[in-house]
Amino acid sequence: MRVPTISILLLGAWAITSHADQTFEIDPWWPKPLPEGWINGQVGGVCVDSRDNILIVDRRNITEEEMETNVPVPTFVMFDMEGNVIKSWGDPDVVPQAVHGCSFDSEDNVWVAGNQDAIVQKYSHDGELLMQIGAKLQFDTEDGTRETEFTNSSQELLHRPAGAVADPETGDIFIADGYGNKRVVVFDAEGNYLRQWGSLATEDEREAGTPGTFTAVVHCIEMSNAGLIYVCDRQGNRVQVFDRMGNHVRDIRVNTGNYNSRGTAWWLAFSPDEEQQYLYVMNGGQEEVHVMDHESGETLSTFGRPGHMPGNFTHGHTIATDSQGNIYVAETNFGRRVQRFRLVSE
């Protein structure tokens, strides 16, 4: 009887009140243990499909010691709401290097990027590669290698993209081409170039917060139910909001008063209600999640702290929500896990 008693006490200690209308609680039993012999590397992304299945994309970069007794998980691992692994796939020679971010489109196909590669890929829900934008390890640079100066201009090549999202109305693909290049680039459903916007901010532009310029990494991209494009200007400490054509609509500042070179605006997710009343921003610089009022951009509350215990973050990287309002956070670097925070009241 001692174990249940301890569990109840721990769950009480891990309850997190995010806002007067919302209370979140770390779910320490999700996900369930992985299949025997599997171990996570850095978890580069997390996303949720229309049936509340949760997908992570894993970089498979386990240590030499871990390789002596385990194997890395497949690149794509899907869990059900109970935390069971229900499917997995991924050819290491085909998937993007250093997979980064994932999203589901309106047909539950998966889009994934890679911040050490030059491609964005589309997979079916069963893991079939359906489409690729860009060419593997052929970068939009002066000589096509990863190390030289970016051009920010190719209509065919990418340069270390961070993420992609598909427009449910048109099928157009919006890509945060943002670790090498500094742009949002748009392709149609067949992979044809349409348009782009964005550039690397000068020091004056950074200080002024000039719309459409990015301080360093263009780190995330999402689309709201209203059809607006939300882009993480990570080291600019803001989310820039554009219409589909790239016209700047507004900034949502992720201000903490405690900045570092890693920035505050890492990834974002919307609450599942039709109006998307809340915006959740993963601040990897301070290892915390900000609960924000979507309309005003006001930070209502914050949870999380640096650390390795349940509810803490070590390189908290990407964030997603399911239809019940639960929050999922994936960690890279030494974190190497995905955690669920259950919405227990609102």
Which residues, at least 6 apart from 20, have a Cβ–Cβ distance to it below 8 Å? none
Predicted pLDDT of residue 17: 47
Residue whose structure tokens are 């200080």: 207
Predicted pLDDT of residue 16: 55
CATH of the domain at 301: 2.120.10.30
Calpha distance 290→304 (Å, rounded): 9
User: What are the tens digits of pLDDT across the range 192-250?
Assistant: 999 999 999 999 999 999 999 999 999 999 999 999 999 999 999 999 999 999 999 99
User: What are the tens digits of pLDDT across the range 148-176?
Assistant: 999 999 999 999 999 999 999 999 999 99
How much is the pTM? 0.94
Residue 4 has pLDDT above 50, yes or no: no
Using alpha carbons, list the distances in angstroms from residue 189 to 14, 135, 169, 225, 245: 44, 17, 11, 19, 16
Calpha distance 155→194 (Å, rounded): 8
Residue 7 has pLDDT above 70, yes or no: no
Q: Which of 344, 337, 231, 345 is nearest to 281 (CA)?
A: 231
DSSP class per residue in 58-112? E-----HHHHTT-EEPPSEEEE-TTS-EEEEE--TTTSPTTEEEEEE-TT--EEE
Whole-number average pLDDT of the chain: 93
Counting the structural domains of the chain, the total is: 1
User: What are the tens digits of pLDDT across the range 68-117?
Assistant: 999 999 999 999 999 999 999 999 999 999 999 999 999 999 999 999 99
Residue 346 has pLDDT above 90, yes or no: no
Expressed as residue numbers, the domain containing 300 is 2-345
User: What are the tens digits of pLDDT across the range 238-283?
Assistant: 999 999 999 999 999 998 776 778 999 999 999 999 999 999 999 9
User: What are the tens digits of pLDDT across the range 30-56?
Assistant: 999 999 999 999 999 999 999 999 999
